């Protein structure tokens, strides 16, 4: 069972296959999303006390806050996907 981990900064990671969206926290809907997740105990704060610069939505409906820019995390995610596809050229996923 190989699970690629996406580095979201300061020693924190999420399982890349579970990521649904990586968004900027600046808009009002994203702030509402964060507040609702906090009220429903679905919020994971991985900012280590720093300013929130990206919001990561997982397939489990959990919300992860990161102090790394959303563009940077998106680039890491794309690079991780590319390296995963190169290591498995058929696109087969193990365990399915």
- Which pLDDT tens digit goes with each residue over 10-61? 999 999 999 999 999 999 999 999 999 999 999 999 999 999 999 999 999 9
* Cα 14–Cα 19–Cα 25 angle in degrees, nearest 5: 90
The closest alpha carbon to 5, from 95, 82, 91, 76, belongs to 76
Looking at residue 43, its pLDDT comes to 98
**Domain for residue 37, yes or no?**
yes
Cα distance between residue 5 and residue 7, in whole Å:
6
The pTM (predicted TM-score) of the whole model is: 0.87
Looking at residue 13, its pLDDT comes to 96
Looking at residue 2, its pLDDT comes to 77
**Domain for residue 95, yes or no?**
no
Asked if 32 and 45 touch (Cβ cutoff 8 Å), the reply is no
Please give the tally of structural domains in the chain. Answer: 1
Residue 66 above 70 pLDDT?
yes
**Domain for residue 28, yes or no?**
yes
Give the pair of three-digit tokens for residue 73.
Answer: 């995390």
**Domain for residue 63, yes or no?**
yes
Residue 91 above 60 pLDDT?
no
**Domain for residue 30, yes or no?**
yes
**Domain for residue 81, yes or no?**
yes
Looking at residue 86, its pLDDT comes to 81
Q: What is the domain range of residue 58?
A: 5-87
Confidence category of residue 87, pLDDT binned at 50, 70, 90: confident
**Domain for residue 40, yes or no?**
yes
**Domain for residue 59, yes or no?**
yes
């Amino acid at each position: 069972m190989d699970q690629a981990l996406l580095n979201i900064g300061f020693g924190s990671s999420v399982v890349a296959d579970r990521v649904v969206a990586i968004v900027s926290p600046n808009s009002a809907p994203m702030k509402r999303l964060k507040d609702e997740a906090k009220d429903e105990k679905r919020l994971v704060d991985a900012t280590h006390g720093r300013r929130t610069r990206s919001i990561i939505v997982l397939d489990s409906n959990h919300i992860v806050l990161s102090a790394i820019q959303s563009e940077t995390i998106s680039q890491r995610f794309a690079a991780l996907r590319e390296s995963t596809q190169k290591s498995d050229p058929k696109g087969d996923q193990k365990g399915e």
